[in-house]
Amino acid sequence: MMSFFFYAAFSILLASCLIAFWIEHRERRITLSLLQVLFALPLLAGLYAYFATHAFPGNIVGLVIFSEAVFAVVWFGLSYRLGRVPSSADHGKHLPTMIQGAFGIILLSSLFYTRIWDPSVYPVDPGLAIIPYDRAYFCAFFLLIVMLFAAWQFEVFWRTLEPARRWEYKFLVVGAFTVCGAFGWAASYRLTYGLLKTDHFLLLFGLLLVAWAFMGYAVARHKLLNRKIFISRKVVYTFVAPTLFAVYLLLLGLVSLLMRIYGLSMPFVLYWLAIALGLMAVGLFIFSGKLRRRVKFFISTHFYVNKYEYRDEWLALSARLQGAESESDVIAALQQVMAGSLYASNIVIWVGDREHGYKVFSAQPPLDPSKKNQPPGYSVGPHDPLVDFFSRHSHLNIEDPNPDREYQNIIEKKGKFLKALGIVLMAPIAIGNQLVGLIGLGPEFTGGRYGHDDYDLLIALGSQTATALMAVRTAEKLAGARERQAWDRLSAFVLHDVKNAAAMLSLVQANAPAHIHNPEFQTEMLEAVDDALSRMNKVQQRINSLKAEITPIWSAVQLQAFLENACTRISKNLKSMSIDLDCPTDVIIRSDPELLFRILENLLLNAFEAGGDPPLVKIGVEIDYTTRHALVSVTDNGPGIAESLLPNALFEPLKTDKVSGSGIGLWQAKQLAASLNCTLHAENVEHAGARFEVRIPV
């Protein structure tokens, strides 16, 4: 069983060399080699100890030789890469990996060929004798060559280092030369005397442990080559509960073992009751949020350089801010991230500006609603001392053990205010000199005190939140400006129509005293009043049509009957225009007949005003069976559309190339078509004028 473990461990170590093919940076490849060596040294030392303590090693000799060959492959990679650290060039970056791979294939092939890697050895009085030119003999020769090469590379590495930095690497180099010397001596002895001695393996065991301690201390103490090994907090947090249960079971097993040693036995019921109690304890840990957060706090403050994983918190807030369309969305995102990362149960957030002050926007737990919106309440005025304080400081910690003069002044002025809210730490939500809000935190429920890690996290989250708030406010201002612009456009065409109607009525009023009794004038006067009322009615209809949303009333429509009826209604007012209709009889659509009529009316009126002599319009209907749409085209015989307005500009408000046009009709038609799930397209037809096409779902 132990042999299988060592075979598997060294096989995995050999396979890990292939990872270097996917690593681009030289520093990371060196990190991989260091990790491999730091893993292999204690593993090989343990194998030597296992070998030396067994009187009849049997096929363990093959395992030792295989493990030494794998270590030689890994050691070659580390020495080769370290020997090129002082050089800026990165030529042949995959050469050691290719060599490692080649030797690995040879080793594994030999292992599978012999199945148990059983070299030819026989016992002699001093130990085990090696048959010359056998696999063990050649492995010793290979080990010697690698150690000589590695010693040369480490000497190059040390010699080319700057003298001021050699102190950082001395333990690493001493450990490396210890390994090279130990294996070089062992391989030379085997080749010279053809013997494997048990005492030698005990000596190698001690030397490898010393070398491993030197190299491990150098890497951990001096962070060599700026390489740091971090374990993700999420991984650690995930393994807390299983680890606690595993430790509990281990202790239970030790108790059971001790009882067996002393001839005692644990009852079956008691044994499984203990396991069940352990599972219940793990369950309580999983479902107790406060306990889990205390454990996270302990891990973060005792096993990590930084208290928080700033990158995770920043990414979490960025993800929650995506799609935030209002200040409420932004503050809700900040509240959720802070509640999940900080160790405070009391969080208050103010939002506002320097002109109007800052009001409490979010609080956990909620504040007293009877005071929240009452001055002075919990609001912070535009001239509040806190606003002036945060224009020069990044945080305010009322528990700071060494407060300066300004800290003492602000605590004297706002101490009661902060204590009423239960706040210990405050930070601004600001970007540059733009203060858009404030963050207040109560004391940590863990009993800890706030420090620089907390300040840094609040500054990062506050800056990111301020950017999002400024973006939301800018978007709201832009939307307001667009609404005012739309109102200005609406006012322009309304004023135009009202002015025309008023002009006609003023002419009637001016002529009425002289011609009021003339029957012909009376008839014209009635027609003028009727026309003015008609214009006013159209203005009202247009205002209604320009509201924010159009709600269709859906029904089944027989397209041919609808078009014939619409053409008849429109022709009464446009008597000089001829309309030629060509539509299949079996087309049924689902639409709003009134809205669809207004689209057709706009298109026919536009064709009439195009100025054909005489005006002639052709309405054609085709069916696109692939997309299941009816294509209704309206083609006139006018001069066509100006190219500057095609393909989409003519559908924008106030865009027209007609002297008397308002630029509203086609824009309105486009909006109506969109509400009916239709599309409206315009183009010029050669020798025929303009052509509009409405695509209607069948």
Are 279 and 245 spatial neighbours (Cβ–Cβ below 8 Å)? yes
Class of domain 2-226: mainly alpha
Q: Which residue has the tokens 């200040």?
A: 327
Query: Cα 301–296–311 angle (5° rounding)?
Result: 75
Q: Residues 549, 555, 559, 563: is their CA dihedral positive or negative?
A: negative
Query: Pick the residue with more confidence: 267 or 690?
Result: 690
The tens digit of pLDDT for each residue in 192-240 reads 887 777 788 888 888 999 999 998 888 777 665 444 445 566 666 666 7
Residues forming beta bridges with residue 396, ordered by sequence position? 426
pLDDT of residue 400 exceeding 90, the answer is no
Closest by CA to 185, choosing from 216, 151, 224, is: 151
Q: Rounded distance, CA 698 to CA 123, Å?
A: 95
Query: Pick the residue with more confidence: 286 or 325?
Result: 325
Closest by CA to 381, choosing from 318, 438, 463, 420, is: 438
pLDDT of residue 541: 67
Query: Pick the residue with more confidence: 56 or 24?
Result: 24
pLDDT of residue 56: 45
Q: Express as a percent the part of the chain with pLDDT over 70.
A: 77
pLDDT of residue 174: 92
Residues 6+ away with beta carbon under 8 Å from 650? 641, 656, 657, 666, 682
The tens digit of pLDDT for each residue in 320-333 reads 888 788 888 898 88
pLDDT of residue 97: 62
Q: What is the 3-state secondary structure (H, E, C) of 408-432?
A: HHHHHHHHHHHHHHCCCEEEEEEEC
Q: Rounded distance, CA 490 to CA 543, Å?
A: 8
301-305, 532-536, 601-605, 670-674: least confidently modelled range:
301-305
pLDDT of residue 227: 47
Q: Rounded distance, CA 279 to CA 268, Å?
A: 17
pLDDT of residue 11: 81
Question: Which superfamily does CATH assign the domain made up of 555-697 to?
Answer: Histidine kinase-like ATPase, C-terminal domain (3.30.565.10)
> Residue 663: which region, alpha, beta or left (left: phi > 0; alpha: psi -120 to 50)?
left
Q: Residues 140, 146, 147, 148: is their CA dihedral positive or negative?
A: positive
Are 310 and 460 spatial neighbours (Cβ–Cβ below 8 Å)? yes
* Helices 452-515 & 310-321 angle (0-180, nearest 10): 20
N residues, the chain: 698
Pick the CATH number of 310-477 from 1.50.10.10, 3.40.718.10, 3.30.450.40, 3.40.50.1110: 3.30.450.40
- Computed over every residue of the chain, the mean pLDDT equals 78
Query: Pick the residue with more confidence: 1 or 572?
Result: 572
State yes or no: cis peptide before 365, omega within 30 of 0.
yes
Matching fold, domains 2-226 and 555-697: no
Instruction: Assign 116 to helix, strand or coil.
Output: coil
pLDDT of residue 620: 93
Strand 425-431 versus strand 555-558 pairing type: unpaired
pLDDT of residue 633: 93
pLDDT of residue 129: 67
The tens digit of pLDDT for each residue in 239-250 reads 676 777 777 777
Structure tokens at 106: 């040879």
Spans of all domains in the chain = 2-226, 233-302, 310-477, 555-697
Q: Rounded distance, CA 378 to CA 362, Å?
A: 12
> What would the mean pLDDT of 264-293 be, rounded to a whole number?
74
Structure tokens at 316: 């979490």
The tens digit of pLDDT for each residue in 615-665 reads 889 999 998 888 888 999 999 988 888 887 887 778 876 666 665 555 677
Are 358 and 351 spatial neighbours (Cβ–Cβ below 8 Å)? yes
pLDDT of residue 170: 86
pLDDT of residue 404 exceeding 90, the answer is no
pLDDT of residue 687: 74
pLDDT of residue 672: 85
pLDDT of residue 75 exceeding 50, the answer is yes
Residues forming beta bridges with residue 589, ordered by sequence position? 557
pLDDT of residue 177: 93
* Cα-based distances in Å from 404 to 330, 393, 394, 400, 410: 34, 12, 14, 9, 10
> What would the mean pLDDT of 477-496 be, rounded to a whole number?
67
Q: Rounded distance, CA 57 to CA 165, Å?
A: 46
pLDDT of residue 137: 78
Q: Rounded distance, CA 30 to CA 278, Å?
A: 43
Query: Pick the residue with more confidence: 104 or 162?
Result: 162
Query: Pick the residue with more confidence: 115 or 309?
Result: 309
Query: Pick the residue with more confidence: 549 or 280?
Result: 280
The tens digit of pLDDT for each residue in 335-356 reads 888 888 888 888 999 998 888 8
The set of long-range contacts for 103-111, using a CB threshold of 8 Å and a minimum separation of 24, is 103/69, 103/72, 103/73, 104/14, 104/15, 104/17, 104/70, 104/73, 107/14, 107/66, 107/69, 107/70, 107/73, 108/11, 108/14, 110/135, 111/7, 111/66
The tens digit of pLDDT for each residue in 297-323 reads 776 666 665 677 777 787 888 888 887
Are 424 and 414 spatial neighbours (Cβ–Cβ below 8 Å)? no
> What would the mean pLDDT of 276-299 be, rounded to a whole number?
74
The tens digit of pLDDT for each residue in 185-201 reads 998 988 888 777 778 88
